[in-house]
Amino acid sequence: IGLVEALKFLIEEKGVGVNDYHWTSYAERAPAHLLVNAMAEDTECFDYLLSREELNITALENNDPEDGSRLLHAAIMCTSSKHPYFLSTIAQHPRVDVNEFVSFDEGEGATALILLVSMGRSFNMPDQVWMEKFEILLKAGSNIHLETEMFASPNDALLNQLEKAIGGEAEKYQKALALIKKMGLAERPPTA
């Protein structure tokens, strides 16, 4: 019996809920949503869970009441070799808003793209992986011109933060800026 068959048996025959938070792995600090654990490497289990109507794609990543991370944010942090598939599938889901502000541990609001950019060197994500995720979020409709508590004015908006980057992040951020310009997203849209 394979992993996906075992998962189907647990859900379809034993009544395990696809949105339950009973699942833990060595990397999780609190019991995580079943979809988070499917992102370990298994696209079959991931696809099966996504096919279930009752799956709440906008659910919290784990049952930690202090952490507002959603499944989208778990996909951003995913280090699996299948990370582009997981992130693009969730980010492009019709019920997922990549521009939703989510409060994390410190209470600051951030969108998925701002989370990725603010992670910087703190997460040890290889530059190529970071760029793939950056492009996926742009293609999913991330707004680079949003102002947040972190970037309180247009002068501090995400685009300007990328332009001002120095040190170890400068080269990566210059590539991100080139991608933004190539996609025609650099110009601030007119305000209503």
* Tokens describing residue 15: 């009544």
pLDDT band at 172 (very low <50, low <70, confident <90, very high): confident
- Cβ distance 111 to 126 under 8 Å? no
Q: How far is CA 94 from CA 57, 62, 66, 98, 178, in A?
A: 10, 22, 27, 10, 28
pTM above 0.75, yes or no: yes
Length of the chain counted residue by residue:
192
pLDDT at residue 67 greater than cutoff 80? no
- Whether residue 51 has pLDDT greater than 90: yes
Q: Which of 49-58, 62-71, 143-152 has the highest mean pLDDT?
A: 49-58
pLDDT digits (tens, 9 = 90+) for 137-170: 999 999 887 765 555 555 556 777 677 766 667 7
User: Are the C-beta atoms of residues 5 and 44 closer than 8 Å to each other?
Assistant: no
User: Does 6 score more than 80 pLDDT?
Assistant: yes
What is the 8-class DSSP label of residue 166?
-
More confident residue, 192 or 176: 176
Mean pLDDT of 55-75: 83
Mean predicted confidence (pLDDT) in 93-114? 79
Residue 45 has pLDDT above 80, yes or no: yes
Q: Which residues are paired to 102 by β-bridges?
A: 110
Can you tell me the distance from the alpha carbon of 80 to that of 73, in angstroms, rounded to the nearest whole number? 14
